[in-house]
Amino acid sequence: MTELAGRHGAVNLGQGFPDSDGPAGMLEVARVAIAEGCNQYPPGRGLSVLRAAIVRDRARIGLDYEAEGEVLVTVGASEAVSAAILGLVEPGREVVVIEPYFDLYAAAIAMAGARRRTARLVPDGDGFTLDVDSLRAAITPATRMIVVNTPHNPTGAVLDRAALLAIAEIACEHDLLVLSDEVYEHLTFDGVEHVSLGTLPGMRERTIVVSSAGKRFSVTGWKVGWACAPAPLLEGILAAKQPLTFASGGPFQLAVAHALDNEQEWTAHWCAKLSDKREFLSNALRAAGFGVRHSAGSYYLCADVAPLGEPDALDFCRAMPERIGVAAVPVRVFADDIAPWQTLVRFTCCKRDATLTEAARRLTRSA
Ligand SMILES: *Cc1c(COP(=O)(O)O)cnc(C)c1O
């Protein structure tokens, strides 16, 4: 879709990366670190200043980790996810993902020689929630891990405490690991609370919490992420990470350490701006005739093209860059069972106001 957007000069609301920079102080720390020679391999587990900052960051939500044995710095959340699945899931075991799901999970499960089973989100008012029965039904004796993502890409759903307690209960009952992808943990709207799975009863010992600086500090190109987990689990993740990349991004690690301690206000402000952007884009899509779904967090919101008389979002998204001059992604590409998602389109709202205004102008013109 990004290529199509380029070909037709479309406003790209497909790929989720901001077109504005992160906090100036953080960018400066990276520049200074490069200038002052912080340019060789960092330790495999990550710079200790960053691991310590990650520990302080987790402590703010009530989770205590040891910087030495329970925190691993990775090449974005992506590597944390891949290494956790490669390192902790034996070939032939099963991993449950909740669809629609971030495409990386399926690839990592395949690389691990494991099998993917799916639970699903279902409509709940004008948003989405977990179908707990579908999760129960997806568990078999071969299940090793459940992958959870909240706030959620692609729907913008934020799982509430009840849904997460249900996941926790199932995980404890069947003695499963849970990989909790929380890259949008600080980006929830309207006062909606993000609950980290690791804080629920019985969960810290079985949860791998994954997060990243990319979405939170608007530096998706830096690829600094991390995994936090009990030491025996972390050793497994490290065993997979070491031959993948060993280490990365020393200057960026220093800058993210600075940001975790000093840029919480910046993130709160970024979140407030994102919330406004979501409102603006929702209104524009509604005015253009789309059936807009509620987004409670993340960089995304979804809109239904069925009210436009369109039977399929994939066809619609292929035509949209030329027809409307805006690019977006059909949600069905994130699902194995496409039927419930057939007419839904994911738009990112993380762009500059001028970018969104131009997208709104084009959408309105098309209506
Ligand atoms: C963007 C994203 C990632 C990848 O994060 P990086 O830090 O860029 O590797 C992982 N999970 C979800 C749900 C995402 O949206």
Whether 77 lines ligand 1, by a CB cut-off of 6 Å, is yes
pTM of the model: 0.97
Q: What is the DSSP string of 231-247?
A: HHHHHHHHHHHHHHTS-
Whether 212 lines ligand 1, by a CB cut-off of 6 Å, is yes
Q: What is the pLDDT of residue 260?
A: 98
Kindly give the parts of the chain with pLDDT less than 50: none
For ligand 1, pick from 215, 223, 241, 348 the residue to mutate: most ligand atoms within 8 Å of CB.
Answer: 215
Task: Quote the percentage of the chain above a pLDDT of 70.
Answer: 100
Whether 220 lines ligand 1, by a CB cut-off of 6 Å, is yes
Q: What is the pLDDT of residue 219?
A: 98
Whether 248 lines ligand 1, by a CB cut-off of 6 Å, is no
Give dist(CA 291, CA 152) in Å, integer: 19
DSSP state of 195: P
Ligand 1 centroid to Cα of residue 113, in Å, is 22
For 165-179, letters b (16+ CB in 10 Å) and e give bbbbebbbeeebbbb
Q: What is the pLDDT of residue 147?
A: 98
List, for residues 21-80, the tens digit of each pLDDT value.
999 999 999 999 999 999 999 999 999 999 999 999 999 999 999 999 999 999 999 999
Nearest to 212 by CA among 178, 252, 165, 177: 252
As given in the structure block, the two tokens for residue 112 are 């691990």
Atom of ligand 1 nearest to the CA of 79: 9
Whether 76 lines ligand 1, by a CB cut-off of 6 Å, is yes
